[in-house]
Amino acid sequence: MIDPASAIAICTTAFTGIKKAINAGKEISELGKDLSSFGKAISDLDYLGSKAKDPPLWKRFDPKFDTSAVEIWAHQQKAKEMREELREYISLYYGPSAWESIVQIEAEQRRMQKEAVYRRQEKIDNLINWAVGTVIVVVFFAVFSGIIWVVGKSQGKW
């Protein structure tokens, strides 16, 4: 899984490359790699944003979590501005239908990214949640059993 700083860096690099290519007069079909990188980075930021709203149990205890959520939100806002500027650029130079095609391609990439990366991350998060929960339950029972043993020992029952 990608972190927010890397996602916005990829997004910015792709955005800059797309703008340069458009200004150089390249055809939209030549922008595939940069558009793909931009779409994946936007998708990653959206996923990270949704995970920040409902984080896994084990991340809620991380003191950096609140800072991370604010950082993700700020990166999402920057990406939203870049996406809007990109929409204007592409619509101006290639027409609105080109932007609609890009939006469809982006939706397909989000679906593929969800299947490939996000589901795996969800499974990992669930596994960690179960492991943390199991450890908490085992520790609770160990402490409870220890207390019962100490009380029984002090009353002479053991």
Residues 127-157 pLDDT 10s: 988 998 899 999 999 999 999 999 988 888 7
Domain that holds residue 92: 4-121
- Determine, yes or no, domain membership for 105: yes
Structural domains in the chain (count): 1
pLDDT(1) > 70: no
Q: How far is CA 89 from the centre of its chain?
A: 27
- Determine, yes or no, domain membership for 126: no
Position 65 confidence tier, pLDDT thresholds 50, 70, 90: low
Q: What pLDDT is recorded for position 37?
A: 86
pLDDT(75) > 70: yes
Cβ–Cβ under 8 Å, residues 5 and 46: no
- Determine, yes or no, domain membership for 158: no
Cβ–Cβ under 8 Å, residues 15 and 38: yes
Nearest CA among 94, 105, 116 for reference residue 34 = 105
Q: How far apart are CA 112 and CA 59, in angstroms?
A: 26
- Determine, yes or no, domain membership for 93: yes
Q: Per the structure block, which two tokens stand in for 101?
A: 């095609």
- Determine, yes or no, domain membership for 83: yes
- Determine, yes or no, domain membership for 103: yes
User: Mean pLDDT in the chain?
Assistant: 84
- Determine, yes or no, domain membership for 34: yes
Q: What average pLDDT does range 31-42 have in this prediction?
A: 85
Sign of the CA dihedral 97, 100, 102, 108?
A: negative
Please name the residue that has the structure tokens 């492991």.
Answer: 131
Q: Per the structure block, which two tokens stand in for 116?
A: 């490939």
What is the value of pTM for the model shown?
0.67
Q: What pLDDT is recorded for position 64?
A: 65
Among 27-31, 40-44, 56-60, the least confident range: 56-60
pLDDT(69) > 80: no
Residue type, position 152, single letter: G
pLDDT(122) > 70: yes
